[in-house]
Amino acid sequence: MTNIVNNLGIIIYATLIYMTPLTYAALGSCFSEVSGVVNIGIEGMMTAGAFTGTVVAYFTGSPWIGFFCGGLAGMLFGALHAFATVKLGADQTISGTAINMLGPGIVIMLARVMFDSTDTIPLDSTMKIPRLFKGLFDTSTVFGRFLDNVFANYASTYLVFVAVIIVWFVFYKTRFGLRLRACGEHPQACETLGIDVIKMRFLCVSISGFLAGLGGACVTMAISNQFRPISIVGQGFIAIAAVIFGKFRPHGALLGCLLFGLCSGLKVVLGGSSGVNMQILSMIPYAVTVIVLILFVGSAHVPSANGKPFVRTK
C-alpha cells in the first residue's frame, strides 16, 4: 500500500511538472491558430525561451526576470513569424519550419560564444523557479510525502492553471476574444466591420511566441537547471497535438497536456521500477501524440480561415 501511494504521488508530481511547459506552449498555439495563422514554429520559440530564460537568470540571479525574458525571446520569434506570414503573406508552414531551424541555430551559436559550449552553466537552486509549499508537509509519513509530491510544485505550475483561466476568459468573455475568433473564421467579414485583421493576427502570433517562450523557460528553469540542445526536442509538436486534441480551445488543450504529462509521469515511475528499456519508455509520449493525431485531427473544428493568408481588399 505504501509503494502504491508513493508511486501515485510521484506520477502526479511528474504529470504536473511535464504538463506545465506544454500547457504554456499550447495556450500560445491556441492564440495563433484561432486567429487564423498556422504556427508550427512553437518548438523554435520554446527553444529561444529556454536558452534566454536560463542565461538571464544566471546573470541576474533572478528566476522571475529570467522567466519573463524567456517569454520575450519567444515573442521576438513569434513577431518574426507574424511579419513573414501576416505582413508578407509567406507560406505559414514554411515560415514555421524556418523558425524551428532558426531558433535552435541562433541559441546554440550564442551558447558557444558565451560559454564555449552548447550547454549553459547550470543554475543553482536560488536561480531556478521556486517551489511553493516546499517543507510545509511532514515527509516522514506516507501521506505527508504524497501531499509534498502533489502540492510542493513549482510556482510556474500554479501560474499555468491561472493562465488557462485567463485565456479562456479572454477568448469567450471579452470583445477582444470575439474579434480574435472572428478573424480566424471570417476575416473578410471582420474587415467590413472595421476590424484590423492584420493587426489582430500579428498581435496573436506574437502572444503565441511569448507563451511558448515561457514554456521553454519552464523546461530549463524548473524541470532541469540548464539549457542543452536537446532540452526542447519534440515538446513544441506535442503542444500542437494537445491543441488539436482539445479542439483549439484553451481548456481542451489543458486536458491534452495533462494526458501527455501523465505519459511522462508513467515513464518516470516505470523507468525506475519495471526494468523496461528506457529508450522504449521514452517513446511513450511521442507514440501517444501520433495516436491522438490519428484519432482527433478529423474531429477537431479547425477555424475556417486557418492557414489562409489574408489580403486586404482595396
Q: What is the pTM of this model?
A: 0.92
Confidence of residue 33 (pLDDT cuts 50, 70, 90): very high
Is 303 in a helix, a strand, or coil? coil
257-266, 281-290, 296-305, range with greatest mean pLDDT? 257-266
User: What would the pLDDT profile of 160-176 be if each residue is shown by its tens digit?
Assistant: 999 999 999 999 999 99
- C-alpha dist (Å) from residue 260 to 19, 29, 190, 245, 279: 7, 16, 36, 11, 17
pLDDT at 300 over 80: no
Least confident residue range of 25-29, 86-90, 277-281: 277-281
> CA 50 to CA 261: how far, in whole Å?
19
Q: Three-state secondary structure along 168-218?
A: HHHHHHCHHHHHHHHHHHCHHHHHHCCCCHHHHHHHHHHHHHHHHHHHHHH
Q: Three-state secondary structure along 94-137?
A: HHHHHHHHHHHHHHHHHHHHHHCCCCCCCCCHHHCCCECCCCCC
Average pLDDT over residues 117-143: 84
User: What would the pLDDT profile of 162-221 be if each residue is shown by its tens digit?
Assistant: 999 999 999 999 999 999 999 999 998 888 888 899 999 999 999 999 999 999 999 999
- What's the pLDDT at 254? 94
Q: What whole-number percentage of the chain has pLDDT above 70?
A: 94
CB 12 within 8 A of CB 150: yes
> CA 58 to CA 24: how far, in whole Å?
22
User: What would the pLDDT profile of 57-95 be if each residue is shown by its tens digit?
Assistant: 999 999 999 999 999 999 999 999 999 999 998 999 999
